Amino acid sequence: MPVATDRPAARQAREPGTPPRSLVALASAALALTTGVAIWLLPAEAGDDRAVPGLDARAGVTASGLATRSTAGPSPARSVVSSTGRPSGFVTFVDTVRDPLFNLPEATGKDRVHWFTLGHLTTGRRECVPTWGGGKERDGGLVADRLSRLRAAGGDAGLAFGGPVGRELAAACTDLDRLVAAYRQAIDTFDATYIDFEVQDPADAETVLRRARAIAALQREAEAGGRSLIVSFTLPVTGAGLAPSDQTMLRSTREAGAEITAVNLLATVGPAPGPGLTRGSLRPVASAVRAAHPQIAESLGEPVAWSRIALTPVLSSSHDLTPVNARRLIAFTSRNKLAWLSIRGAAPTPKVARFLTVSTY
């Protein structure tokens, strides 16, 4: 797939995928493998990855409103995978709209996935009220309803705001106090320690500043309560790295007082250039990560930022990732200490998915 140069087009192209429920966790695993493989092919140094194809973020959205705390159930003492409440290893993205019955506890036990990201929360008919996919409220049956059982099984989940469909809360809710309250509602409802923002309007300076101030306020509240609130941004990456508007957004968000733990890079994995050539489609992903690294480091005010990069390859076909490439991906990820791996797009083969989820822990 050619490198995307038009930012709006790249963002609009990200339509949610619709793989069978049973393959969601597996798909996530395999895609992550793909990314790593591509990167692994470059030198082992943490600066080894440069030029990537256009991105298609196959993210989904929910047509149902937030469950109440009583619906979601009280959160038991956390048997958390990370004492800091931040994602690690392999993170499965769950489209709560297209797969509202996805069984989080079962995936943790069967597929050995311990971290999930649930998306996407956007504004609905009321501009300052978070809803799944901006849709109407629906009683019961939501993925998020299973969070208490997931945590009891040793897993955890974060919340994704924004995405390819609907408006992110900060763009619609222009009153800062109400915006903070809206984010807080979602965080408190699901007892979340991790939130992600998949931003579609990075060039809107007022929205960027409003969101940043809201995040900073929520992080101060969490710290005062003896907790942490981990924040990441999910952004498309190409061979040139991040778009200039995304780099500016990250820098402005940091300067406004918000702490960004990681930048999750969405990188498209294209088909292999020929029969038996499994590496060709992965090199662009590695190149994209390399191009984005110095940009992310500068935006976050860090000399080195490899541990602040999460990687989410987007597969166009389950054949884009092989077991051999999966092993290389795991090795690269470990060597360069990337924050976490995820996957979107086509489902990988079950064998590859199992290897990824087992090997990242």
Residue 110's DSSP bridge partners are: none
Tens digits of residue pLDDT in 192-230 = 999 999 999 899 999 999 999 999 999 999 999 999 999
Dihedral sign (CA 70, 74, 80, 82): positive
Residue 335's identity, in one-letter code, is R
The pLDDT, as a whole number, for residue 125 is 83
The Cα–Cα gap between 131 and 123 comes to 6
Superfamily of domain 7-359: Glycosidases (3.20.20.80)
Tens digits of residue pLDDT in 280-322 = 467 788 889 999 999 999 999 999 999 999 999 888 888 887 8
* Under 8 Å between Cβ of 143 and 100: yes
Q: Is the bond leading into 120 cis (omega within 30 degrees of zero)?
A: yes
Dihedral sign (CA 212, 214, 216, 219): negative
**Tokens 């489902």 found at:** 347
- Give domain limits for the chain: 7-359
Tens digits of residue pLDDT in 19-70 = 444 444 444 444 333 333 333 333 333 333 323 333 333 332 223 345 433 3
Select from 175, 152, 172, 148 the least CA-distant residue to 162: 172
Which of the two residues, 132 and 12, has the higher pLDDT score?
132
Instruction: Please report, rounded to a whole number, the percentage of residues in the chain having pLDDT higher than 90.
Output: 43
The Cα–Cα gap between 96 and 59 comes to 10
Q: Give buried/exposed letters for 160-174 (b at 16+ CB in 10 A, else e).
A: bbbbbbbbbbbbbbe
Spell out the residues 6+ positions from residue 284 whose beta carbon is closer than 8 angstroms to its own: 3, 38, 51, 52, 53, 239, 267, 268, 269, 270
Tens digits of residue pLDDT in 257-286 = 999 999 999 988 766 555 544 444 677 888
The pLDDT, as a whole number, for residue 355 is 82
The Cα–Cα gap between 314 and 35 comes to 8
